Amino acid sequence: MLFDLTLIGGVTEEGAAAVGAEVWLEERNWSPGMVHGQGQTDASGAYQLDATALPIVEGCWGWATGFFLVARLGEATAELPLNSKIISAWLDGATEAEVEVLQLKPEAR
């Protein structure tokens, strides 16, 4: 089963809005590296990302799929696992989900 969901959230860097950060949702288990939606933050660090064709495997909550929201601005990155958020939205019949703010961190060297 495939599911579409709009993700709404924000990205910060050192407490300030991360303007122009790239944001995308990728799936790492079912089809590793598959990007299901991407976008960019606005002047306030906010984004709205339309995630499409998300594979939902009924009865395998959190095991069959591995959804991660990723943000990047220059060398700084952040990621957040979203399986429970996406499954909850699907179970509730929601078309939108608010996501906690991603806080960019410098790339480890």
CATH topology of domain 2-106: Immunoglobulin-like (2.60.40)
Quick: pLDDT tens for 5-31: 999 999 999 999 999 999 999 998 877
Quick: pLDDT tens for 27-64: 988 777 899 999 999 999 999 999 999 888 777 655 56
- Reduced to 3 states (helix: H, G, I; strand: E, B; else coil), residue 20 is coil
Q: Which amino acid is at 82?
A: L
- pTM given for the model: 0.89
The pLDDT value given to residue 109: 42
User: Where are the domains positioned within the chain?
Assistant: 2-106
